[in-house]
Structure formats: C-alpha cells, structure tokens
Amino acid sequence: MKYRKSKQRNKILEILKNTNTHPTVDWIYDKLKKDFPKLSIGNVYRNLNILVEQKLVRRMDFGSTFDRFDAVRAPHYHFICEQCGAVIDLDLSYDDKLNQKAMDSSGCKVHDHKIQFYGLCDKCKNKLQQHQQQ
C-alpha cells in the first residue's frame, strides 16, 4: 500500500521514538493535540494502524482494555506492573533457542515469541513498603 505524507503521522512516529513508556492512544492524542488543535482521535487510530502496517510501530497488548504502542526496535521482553500498569522494557537478551524448543515440543512452525513478566515496579514496591511500616 502506498501512502502520502502526513504531518500528523510523522509526528506520531516522532513521539513514539522519543518515548519508552509504550503509550496509549489517548496519551498520544493529548500530546499530538498541542501541535494540531483540531486533531480527531479517529485520525490517531488511523495513522497508528498505518504505522503498524508499515512495521514502523508495534501494537502491544498487555491484557488491558486498550492497546499500547511503541516504535519498533530490537526485540525485547516486557515487565508489567500489576499495581500501576506501567510497562517497562527489560534488558534480558532475546532467547533465540526458545523458538526451536517450542517447535520441537509442538510440531508447529514457530518464528517468534513474546515474554511478559508480572509483579511490582520499583515505585509501587516502595510505596507498599512505606505503607506497611506506618
């Protein structure tokens, strides 16, 4: 599919490249609205879908009712805080052997995998400790 340039779409990609918080559509919309006051939320959805199709952006799905997005980089795993919902990139190296293991055990053709870790992020961990000491 061939697309024309769009200032809005360019800016969305730029915003995503400069963020590591895996933002939601609403967050992106609010941020972009400063540059395009008439911006509609539908257009943010439309452009995010195009960017995903172009493989410049990845749609992420961590079990919430809404999606999150980030600019595509090297494959990595994620941590999700069960308290505040924050999504944090992990510095663990991507385990290529896992795909082969899954392939051997299932007979399916496996070409990728995702890992999500769950628990409490640093902030929430500390808040909880303070709470318990009171």
Partner DNA sequence: GTTCATGCAAATCGTTTGCACAATG
Partner DNA sequence: CATTGTGCAAACGATTTGCATGAAC
User: Where on the chain is the footprint of DNA (CB under 7 A)?
Assistant: 2-9, 24-25, 36, 38-43, 45-47, 49-50, 65-67
Indicate the burial class of 91 (C-beta count within 10 angstroms; 0-12, 13-18, 19 or more). exposed
The binder of 41, among DNA, a copy of itself, none, by C-beta within 5 to 8 A per type, is: DNA
Interface with a copy of itself, residue 102, by CB under 8 A: yes
Helix (H) or strand (E) holding 3: none
Name 60's bridge partners.
Answer: 68
Check binding of 74 to a copy of itself (CB under 8 A). no
- Cβ closest to DNA, residue 23 vs residue 81: 23
C-alpha to C-alpha distance for 105 and 44, rounded to whole angstroms: 41
- Give just the sign of the alpha carbon dihedral 89, 64, 34, 70: positive
- Comparing CA positions, the residue from 127, 30, 16 lying closest to residue 70 is 16
**Mask: binding to a copy of itself, 31-60, rule CB under 8 A, as x and -?**
----------------------------x-
Report what 97 binds from DNA, a copy of itself, none; CB cut-off 5-8 Å by kind.
none
Positions in the binding site for a copy of itself (CB under 8 A): 59, 61-63, 77, 79, 81, 88, 90-92, 98-99, 101-103, 105-122, 125
